Amino acid sequence: MDVLGRILLVEDDSKDVELTLTALDEYNLANEVVVATDGEQGLDYLYYRGKFMQRAAVNPAVLLLDLKLPKIDGHEILRQIKSDEKLKMIPVVVLTSSREEKDMVASYKLGVNAYVVKPVDFHEFVNAIKELGVFWAVINEPPAGSVRKH
């Protein structure tokens, strides 16, 4: 059986992290999630810096990205990823509370692969996260560089 590529979750709100992990756990995807709690950590993971210096040299299968983040915000991370030859292939899903059109437009302009507004209803939230996890980490064929570990 395939071992899933890791899911990088960049989210500063610990409660959102908990709810997201709970949702992913229903599909046994939680173990493969790496959590970065601010924008800087997210970039550290992608660039093998700081506490992620020693991590395995593989891109995440998918990046779940909040927009409003401490230090470096989601749009800036998105911009850096999509303008870096080594990283631009990573599928990025913006996972945000913001229903504002300008956030959505800005994200798509920067090349985001999907834009998901976190539903208030928990069942909807679980379903959205599950589907995201399953689609991007299981169904979707990842690009070269973020191959699944076998």
Partner 1 sequence: MNPLPLASSDSAARQSTSLLRWGFLQRYSFAVLSVAAALGAALLLNHFGFRDATVPLFIFASAISSWYGGPGAAVLAVVLSSLAFDYFFVPPLYTLYIAPSELPYFVIFALFTLLVSWFARIRHRVEEDLRNARDELESVNRELAKRTAALETSNKELEAFAYSISHDLRAPLRHVSGFAELLRSGAAPFLNEKSTRYLKVVLEEANRMGSLIDDLLAFSRIGRAEAHYSSISLQQIVQEAVGEARQDANGRNIVWRVDALPEWYGDRSMLRLVVINLISNAVKFTSTRSEPEIEIGCSERKNDQVVLFVRDNGVGFDMKYSAKLFGVFQRLHPQGAFEGTGIGLATVQRIVHRHGGRVWAEGKVEGGATFYFSLSKLTGAN
Q: Which residues in this chain contact partner 1 in the complex, by CB under 8 A? A: 13, 15-16, 19, 22, 67-68, 96-101, 118-123, 125
Between 97 and 140, CB nearer to partner 1 = 97
CB 12 within 8 A of CB 69: yes
6: alpha, beta or left, given left = phi > 0 and alpha = psi -120 to 50? beta
Between 70 and 119, CB nearer to partner 1 = 119
Between 67 and 90, CB nearer to partner 1 = 67
Task: Find, among 92, 136, 134, 138, the residue nearest to 115 by Cα.
Answer: 92
Between 27 and 47, CB nearer to partner 1 = 27
Least spacing, CB of residue 127 vs partner 1, in Å: 12
CB 45 within 8 A of CB 36: yes
Between 61 and 129, CB nearer to partner 1 = 129
Q: Which amino acid is at 118?
A: K
Task: Find, among 113, 107, 120, the residue nearest to 136 by Cα.
Answer: 113
Least spacing, CB of residue 62 vs partner 1, in Å: 21
Least spacing, CB of residue 99 vs partner 1, in Å: 5
- Max CA-CA distance within the chain? 42
Strand ranges in the chain using DSSP code E only, listed in sequence order: 7-10, 33-36, 62-65, 92-96, 114-117
Least spacing, CB of residue 106 vs partner 1, in Å: 12
Least spacing, CB of residue 123 vs partner 1, in Å: 7
